[in-house]
A = this chain, B = another copy of it.
């Protein structure tokens, strides 16, 4: 893009207070970079967050920012966007902030399809409060609040988002900066709620939790980066691919068992029916690669625009232009 901005325009001088090595740093850098490419002025950008380590991010932005209260980021961002649709509105949130206390606002923002971009930093833990399990923590995981292991299954953020009828969902890993940046740029281009889940490493409480997928060495074999219109191919040698068998996705090796490149699925993030997106988002190792990239990207009516449209429609057909007009439009009599 031809943006007049550089990443520096989106930074500020605040001392950053995450633990050295925290995955949040990478996400912050990506956001600076992405915004510089998106080309909306810092003054026209608002970054909203709740509470959590991840939610501190707005302090490190050179834009307008609001570090609000725990879990309410989606609702507050909704208000910002509806009040002033000209702003580019971002919500930064964590797995606790977004999916525990903030779950309801999240699913309703997604359902309404407000044009905000939600960056969900998923470290599968409550970092800020020093290590309790979150709604994305795997069953059995031992944390300060689950000394004998948790006894609940986690949400898959993508599944929940699709259950709430999400039109845009992307997934990336903190260590993969170019992809994260790319997904952020795409999210900004999408009109409606865009959710980007970033698998983020917490060096203190869940160090290595995403290692199985994020390790440089195995990443190519254990993840697949989906690209619009391209074959679903992965693997160190780009020789593995995904095929559909009945309703099941299967990973195959091209050239083995009679599979050719033509058998491999082509990614279409714009399919209206979310079934395949949902299946892709649900893939897990070791049988299947973890899906990364933009899994779904569908156009829909976005709420903030619909508000504006409805106002225009009504205003085109009314005599009531001012408070005084309104007053005289009712059941009024005059005393002379």
Q: Which residues of A contact B (CB under 8 A)?
A: 100-101, 103-104, 107-108, 111-113, 135, 139, 148-149, 151-156, 159-165, 244, 246-248, 273, 275-276, 278-279, 300-301, 303, 306-307, 309-310, 313-314
Contacts and interface: CB of A to CB of B under 8 A. Distances in A.
Across the A-B interface, the 3 shortest Cβ-Cβ residue pairs: A163-B163, A151-B306, A104-B104
**Identical chains bound together, number:** 2
Given A104-B104, A149-B310, A247-B247, 9 more contacts: A103-B103, A107-B155, A111-B153, A113-B153, A151-B301, A151-B309, A163-B164, A248-B273, A275-B278
Contact of A111 (B107, B135, B148, B300): B135
Contacts of A155: 107, 111, 164-165
A276 to B, nearest CB: 6
A103 B301 CA distance: 23
Contacts of A111: 135, 152-155
Contacts of A309: 151
B275 A151 contact: no
Contacts of A310: 148-149, 151
18 contacts: A103-B103, A107-B107, A111-B135, A111-B152, A111-B154, A113-B153, A149-B310, A151-B309, A152-B306, A153-B300, A155-B165, A156-B165, A160-B163, A160-B164, A162-B163, A244-B246, A247-B247, A275-B279
Contacts of A279: 275
A155 B310 CA distance: 21
B163 A314 contact: no
